Structure 1
Amino acid sequence: MNDQKVVLVTGALSGIGRASALAFARSNASVVISGRRVDEGHALADALRSLGAQAEFIEADVRVEEDVQALVDYAVARFGRLDIAVNAAGIEGESMPIVEQTAARYAAVFETNVLGTLLAMKHELRVMSAQRGGSIVNVSSTMGARGAAGASLYVASKHAVEGLTKSGALEAAAFGVRVNAVAPGPVQTPMLDRLTQTPERKAAFLDTVPLRRAGTPDEIADAIVYVASASFMTGEVLRVNGGRTAA
């Protein structure tokens, strides 16, 4: 990655988003982070500055278009352009059979995971297309390419993220903008603990991973940094999952 890239990270306050913001800061980028928890946002911005990066936190809810537009416009006003955007905001929703799901639970998952990604891409592409260059990395999941009993809404939302990624890549290619996704498998984050619920269920789940462990947020962040700078890659989904989709 070239020096002094301007990077925007949504969902930056925990897990993969946080690790990505730190990785780009270590790569000499200027970083704008967003999320809804103000105190945690300012603390992370301070941590990024302690690494030598220029960093700003903006409170934003990816479900609200006015927030997303203001976030992207701030990044450009503050640093002059937008080179890389990482759309990491996402939730897992409640695990239950389809026959027990509700419209309200659907809306909660899809408004964050799908609408949030769509709105972020809309305004990132608005800027990047005008400047004739840029790179967007969406965060999908292993579940973006397969099914999972009890996790229908999360699975469907990540399939949608991958569809948005491929469609966005085709639309943006003429402007020199690349759109890709990174799809993690099990990663040691609070989301994994919520999904598995008990140490025993977590251990059994990780036994299905060929590498026999969860990934770390830093390992996924390294993949995101790579994809962001892979200059002949667009419309692709890089699966980083310890071998879960190899078979």
Structure 2
Amino acid sequence: MVDLNGRVAVVTGGETGIGLAIARTLAMSGAQTVIGGIIEDKGNEAAETIRTAGCEAVFVKTDVSIEEQVESLVRAAVDRYGKLDIMVNNAGVYDGFADCLETSPALWDRVIEINLRGVYLGTRAALKRMVPQRSGRIINTSSVGGLRGSADGCSYTASKWGVIGLTKQVACTHSQYGITVNAICPGVIQTSLRETSAINLGDVAPDMNRGVGDSPDAFKVVVPAKRRGSPQEVAEVAAFLASDAASYVSGQAIAIDGAWTAF
């Protein structure tokens, strides 16, 4: 486990799945952690579980597509703990493999608002605090869908490619300030993303069950590891990127995918 004692972290989408694993791992590594998310009961439960383990965490309800709420989230971290060292822009929704013709403009807009605009807003809010202190770690959650055009649906794929582009551009312009900016790209991970996406997308949500019932092991054809990854395996990479050990790693899109992108 890395040493993050004295660090302050914000994790969006930290109430479930990969985000929860990242928030828990950062907190267990010593970081004072603020979880931002839209599912309030899950967020409060996540923070309480972390505190019960003897670590520091609070939850702030946040819709990452709304600038004022993202600013309020980051401000809450700074007001409570005095600074911001680590920003994990993890909040995201899935589009159920909907192709271009199946993707309504409303679905497109909402996925882009959360998955890409949310990362931009979180990055911008973090930079406002990190540039003056000349240090910081920004970690953005993309996907294998941001590296492969055939992995996911239309809006999800576009959003995750956008996250990698944003990550690389900000790394080029802000690494000079002692800030690293990287993207993690999970592959097939065991989470409840389909269920939480249906909740967050509401009326514009497509069928989230495509590819589940008929061939639950179809991913094994393209994943050499022949298994799903765990949220914790993704969280460990994020924790490394948040640490001093990764001080010269910036502008990278790191696949955590059981060799899928090597196949």
Q: CA deviation at 1:187?
A: 0.2
Whole-Å separation in 2 of the counterparts to 1:111 and 1:245: 27
Alignment of 1:30-109 (within 5 A): 30-109=32-111
Unaligned runs of 5+ in 2: 196-207
- Give me the whole-angstrom Cα distance separating, in 1, the residues matched to 2:51 and 2:253: 31
Match of 1:227 in 2: 241
Q: Identify the residue that residue 202 of structure 1 maps to in structure 2.
A: 216
Q: Is the 1:97–1:149 contact (alpha carbons within 8 Å) kept by the matching residues of 2?
A: no
Q: Is the 8 A contact 1:34 1:41 kept in 2?
A: yes
Q: 1:203 to 1:196 in 2, by over 3 A?
A: farther
Shift in alpha-carbon separation, 1:197–1:56, aligned structure 2, 3 A: same
Provide the C-alpha distance between the structure 2 equivalents of 1:56 and 1:192, rounded to a whole number of angstroms. Answer: 25
Alignment of 1:238 onto 2:254: yes
Rate the CA distance shift 1:75–1:246 in 2: closer, same or farther, 3 A.
same
Matched residues in 2 for 1:27 and 1:112: separation? 28
Contact map agreement 1:98 1:150 (CA 8 A) in 2 = no
Measured in 2, the distance between the counterparts of 1:13 and 1:66 equals 20
Task: Report SS of the residue matched to 1:98.
Answer: coil
Q: Deviations over 1:18-63 (max 9, x none)?
A: 0001111111111000111222211111111112212111111101
Q: Which residue of 1 aligns with 2:200?
A: none
| Contact persistence 2:145–2:152 (CA under 8 A) | no
Amino acid at match of 1:234: S
2:132 maps to what in 1?
130
For the 8 Å contact 1:93–1:108, the answer to whether it is kept is no
1:75 maps to a residue whose letter is A
198-207 or 23-32, which moves further after superposition? 198-207
Structure 1 residues 12 and 150 mapped into 2: Cα distance closer, same or farther (>3 Å)?
Answer: closer
Give the corresponding residue for 1:163.
Answer: 165
Cα offset, 1:195, TM superposition: 5.7
Q: Quick one: which amino acid aligns to residue 244 of structure 1?
A: W
Matched, 1:213 2:230: no
Tell me the CA shift for residue 172 of structure 1.
1.2
Distance 2:96 2:26 in 1: 32
Alignment partners' CA distance in 2, 1:152 and 1:186: 18
**Distance (whole Å) between structure 1 residues aligned to residue 99 and residue 70 of structure 2:** 33
Return the offset for 1:95. Answer: 2.5
Does the 8 A contact of 2:94 with 2:194 survive in 1?
no
Q: Is the 8 A contact 1:15 1:217 kept in 2?
A: yes
Change (3 A) 1:6 1:23: same
Task: Answer yes or no: is the 8 Å Cα contact 2:97–2:210 preserved in 1.
Answer: no
User: Would the alpha carbon gap of residues 195 and 174 (structure 1) be closer, same or farther in structure 2, given more than 3 Å must change?
Assistant: farther
Q: CA deviation at 1:197?
A: 4.2
TM norm structure 2: 0.89
Paired letter, 1:204 = A
Once the two structures are TM-superposed, the CA of residue 102 in structure 1 deviates from its matched residue by: 2.1
Question: How far has the Cα of 1:212 moved from its partner?
Answer: 0.1
Aligned residue identity for 2:262: A
The 8 Å contact of residues 186 and 192 in structure 1, kept in 2 or not, is answered as: no
Whether the 8 Å CA contact 1:91–1:113 is kept in 2: the answer is yes
Assess, with a 3 A threshold, how the Cα gap between structure 1 residues 222 and 69 changes in structure 2: closer, same or farther: same
Stretches of structure 1 that go unaligned for 5 or more consecutive residues are none
SS in 1 for 2:50: helix
Alpha-carbon shift at residue 205 of structure 1 (Å): 1.8
Equivalent position of 1:154 in the other structure: 156
Residue identity matched to 1:119:
L
The percentage of aligned residue pairs carrying the same residue is 38
Q: Deviations over 1:112-150 (max 9, x none)?
A: 001000000010111111111000000010111111276
RMSD: 1.6
